[in-house]
Structure 1
Amino acid sequence: MAEWLYEAGIGEARAALVERGDIVEMAVERDNERGPRAGAIVTARLTRKADASGRGLVTLADGATAQLTPVPAGLTEGSALLVEISREALPEGTGVKPPRARIAPHGARPAAGPDLLARITASGVSVRHISRGPDLLEQNGWSEALEEAASGIVARPQAMLRISLTPAMTLIDVDGAGSAADLAIAGARLAGETIRRFAIAGSIGIDLPTLTGKAERQAAAAALDAVLPQPFERTGVNGFGFLQIVRRKVRPSLPDRLAADPLLAAALALLRQAERATGHGALTIQAHPAVIARIESRQDWLDMLTTRIGATVGLREDARLAISGGHASRSQS
C-alpha cells in the first residue's frame, strides 16, 4: 500500500511517497524559498503590457515581478489586479526565472498557495508524520536518492542514466550493456521512474540507444508509459533513439533545487543528520568551512536544533572535508 512519509525538518519539509519499500516520489520545500507558491492568489500591478511573446509583467505586493499571460485587452500599465501564480520562480544558472501568473478567477480572494503538506494531503494517499525515532526516510533510501538527484547519476544493473540540466530542457542519457533493444526498454523504464521520483517537468529529452526497428521503438516508449503517470505529452522514439516528453512545470524539480544551491542542500542534510545523531551530551557538527558558515548564518536553525535534541551544539570547520562530507556526533555514546 502506498503511503506518504512527511517530515517537518529544520530549514525544510520533506516528503516521500513509498510503495512496496521504494520511494516513487519525493519532494522538499525550503523555508526560505523565493516568491509565492503555485496556486497563490496575490495582488499585483501591471508593469508592462504584452510584448512580442504575448507576456506582460506585473509587480507583486512584495516587490517581486512575475510574467503575466495572457494580458487582458484594454488593461493599462499601472492597473491594479488580482493574479494567480501558475508557476513558481525557477532557478536558472546563477539567476532566477521569474514566476508566471494569470488573471485570478472571478470572485477569488488573496490566499497563499498550498504548501507541501497540503499538496500531499490532497493526493488522497495516507500521510504519516515522522520525527525522531526510527528513520523511515532513510530506511527507504532517502539519502541515496538525494545523492542521485544531486549527482545526476542513476545507476541500476539494467541501465544507467546521466541527467543534465540545461536552460532549454532536462536531458537524460541512457547507457549500459546488452542489446540496444533491451537497453532501450530498461533505460526508458528507469527514466520514467526517475522523472516521477524527482518531479522532473518541463521539456525532457531522453537519449536511448539507436533503434532501427519500429517495434523496438514502440516497446521502449510503452515501457516509459507504463511507469510515468499522466498527464504528459511525448513524441515517439525516433530512429536515433531520441524521445521528448513535456510535463507541466509549476515548481522546481528536486535536481533543480539541489543544483541551484549545493551549500544549502549540504547544510540542511547535515542538520537532519545532526538531529538524529545517537548518544548523549553536547553535539558537534564538523564540516567544510563553507557549510559551517551557511549554518552559522541561520541562528534560528541552531536554536531549533538545540531545542529538539536538548543539548548544546558546537560547530567545527574542517577544510579537508568535501561539501557533502560533514558529520555530527554526540560527546557521549
Structure 2
Amino acid sequence: MAEWLYEAGIGEARAALVDDGEIVEARIEREGEGPRPGAILAARLVDVGRGGKGALVALDWPGTPHATVAEISSTTAIGAALLVEVTRMALRERGRDKPARARLAEPGAVAAAGPDLRARIAATGIAVVDVRPTDTDRLEQAGWSELIDCVREGHWPFTGGALWVDATPAMVLIDIDGEGDALTVAKAGARAAAALIRRCDIGGSIAIDFPSLPDRAGRHAVDAAVDAALSTPFERTAVNGFGLMQIIRRRERPSLIEQVRLDPVATDAALLLRQAERAVGTGVLTLTARDAVIARIMAHPDWVETLQARTGRAVKLVVDPTVKGAGHAQ
C-alpha cells in the first residue's frame, strides 16, 4: 500500500511517496525558498508594469521578495498597499531568477503563510508516516540517496535504455537513448519519462526527444504511451518526424531537478545535516565539507543549535577543500 514518508529535516523538509518499495514521488521544501503557493500576503506596489508585463509588488515576507501581478490597474499608485495570493513560487534558473507570481486576493481574505509540504501531502488523503532520525531510515531503504544521485547526474536508466535530463531556462529536456528496436525503446522511454515527471514534480514546458520513428503509426503509438502513463492535466504536441514532443504542465513550484541541480551547495548542506542527525557515537560531532557547504551551515546558527539538541552532542564544523559532495559527519 502506498504511503508518504515525511522527514522534518534541519533546513529542509523532505517527503517520498513510496509504493511497493519504490519512490514514485519525491518532494523537498527548503527553508528560505520564499512564499509558497496559496500564501496570502500584504504587498506594496513597486511598478505598475508596461508593454503587457505584469505589475511588480514587494511582498511582506523576510527579505521583501518581489512578485508579478497581472491584473493591477495601471492607475494604481506606486506604493499602494495590496493583499495578494501567491500562485507560483520564485524560480531559480541558470543566469537569472524569476520572481514569484501572484494575484489580487479575494475580498475578505486573511493573511496566511500557505500550506507547507507536510500539509500538502496530508491533503492527498494517503497515509503519512513521520520519520525521525532515531527511527529506521526508511527513506534511505526506499532509495533516497540513489534518487538524488540520478537527479545530480541527469541519468535515469530503464530497461532497454536510459533518460538523460537537463533543466534549461526555457524547458526541461528529456533525451531517450537505447539500443534495439526504435519503437520498443521509444515506448519504454515514454513510460520512464512519465514516471520521472511525476517523481520529480516537473512542470512548465518539457521537451522529450524520442528515437526517430519513420512511420506515422509508430509515432501515434508513442503518443498513446505518453497519454496512458502521464497523469492529467497536461497538454502536448504529437511526436513529430524528428522524434520531438512538447508537454506543458502546471507549474507552481520548482521541480526536484531544479532544486537539486541549480543549488548544489544547499543540496549538499541538507545531505550533510541529514547524515549528521543519524551519526552514531558520542562526544563532539564533526561535520567536514568544502568551504561553501560549511559556510551555508554557519550562516544558519539555528541549524547547528537544532542539530546539537537532536543529537545531544556538541557540533564542530571543519572545512576541507579536498572533500567532494556533501562531506561527512562523525
TM range (shorter): over 0.9
Q: Where do 5+ consecutive residues of structure 1 fail to align? A: none
- Cα distance in 2 for partners of 1:309, 1:111 equals 33
- Cα distance in 2 for partners of 1:72, 1:121 equals 38
Determine the structure 1 residue equivalent to 2:109. Answer: 108
TM-score, normalized by length of structure 1? 0.93
After TM superposition, list the pairs within 5 Å mapping 1:202-213 onto structure 2: 202-213=204-215
CA pair 292-50 structure 1, distance change in 2 beyond 3 A: closer
Deviation at 1:56, TM superposition (A): 1.7
Q: Any conservation in 2 of the 1:3–1:127 contact (CA below 8 Å)? A: yes
Query: Which of 248, 273, 276 is matched with 1:274 structurally?
Result: 276
Q: Any conservation in 1 of the 2:25–2:199 contact (CA below 8 Å)? A: yes
AA of the residue aligned to 2:113: A
Q: Any conservation in 1 of the 2:5–2:129 contact (CA below 8 Å)? A: yes
Residues 205-232 of structure 1, C-alpha deviation per residue, up to 9 Å, x if partnerless? 0001111222211222222223321111
Determine the structure 2 residue equivalent to 1:42. Answer: 41
Q: Any conservation in 2 of the 1:54–1:71 contact (CA below 8 Å)? A: no
Deviation at 1:74, TM superposition (A): 5.1
Q: Helix, strand or coil for the counterpart of 1:205?
A: strand
- Tell me whether 74-83 or 89-98 shows the greater mean CA deviation: 74-83
- Cα distance in 1 for partners of 2:19, 2:233 equals 20
After TM superposition, list the pairs within 5 Å mapping 1:15-54 onto structure 2: 15-34=15-34, 36-54=35-53
Determine the structure 2 residue equivalent to 1:244. Answer: 246
- Cα distance in 1 for partners of 2:135, 2:81 equals 50
- Match status 1:4 vs 2:7: no
AA of the residue aligned to 2:252: V
AA of the residue aligned to 2:214: T
- Tell me whether 52-61 or 94-103 shows the greater mean CA deviation: 52-61
Determine the structure 2 residue equivalent to 1:67. Answer: 68
Determine the structure 1 residue equivalent to 2:100. Answer: 99
- Cα distance in 2 for partners of 1:76, 1:30 equals 35
- Cα distance in 2 for partners of 1:328, 1:79 equals 50
- Tell me whether 140-149 or 227-236 shows the greater mean CA deviation: 227-236
Residues 103-148 of structure 1, C-alpha deviation per residue, up to 9 Å, x if partnerless? 1122212111111111111111111101022101000001111111
- Cα distance in 2 for partners of 1:156, 1:272 equals 28
Determine the structure 2 residue equivalent to 1:133. Answer: 135
Determine the structure 1 residue equivalent to 2:165. Answer: 163
AA of the residue aligned to 2:58: T
Determine the structure 1 residue equivalent to 2:55. Answer: 56
Determine the structure 1 residue equivalent to 2:329. Answer: 328
Residues 238-279 of structure 1, C-alpha deviation per residue, up to 9 Å, x if partnerless? 111111111111111111111232111101101101111234
Residues 64-112 of structure 1, C-alpha deviation per residue, up to 9 Å, x if partnerless? 3211113347544443322111111100224421011111122212111
After TM superposition, list the pairs within 5 Å mapping 1:309-324 onto structure 2: 309-324=311-326
Q: Any conservation in 2 of the 1:273–1:327 contact (CA below 8 Å)? A: yes
Q: Helix, strand or coil for the counterpart of 1:46?
A: strand
TM-score, normalized by length of structure 2? 0.93
Q: Any conservation in 1 of the 2:287–2:316 contact (CA below 8 Å)? A: yes
Q: Any conservation in 1 of the 2:48–2:74 contact (CA below 8 Å)? A: no
Q: How many residues align?
A: 327
Determine the structure 2 residue equivalent to 1:81. Answer: 82
AA of the residue aligned to 1:53: G
Residues 13-56 of structure 1, C-alpha deviation per residue, up to 9 Å, x if partnerless? 0000111111111111111223x111111122333334223422
- Cα distance in 2 for partners of 1:202, 1:179 equals 31
Determine the structure 2 residue equivalent to 1:118. Answer: 119
- Cα distance in 2 for partners of 1:45, 1:323 equals 41
Identity %: 50
- Tell me whether 87-96 or 51-60 shows the greater mean CA deviation: 51-60
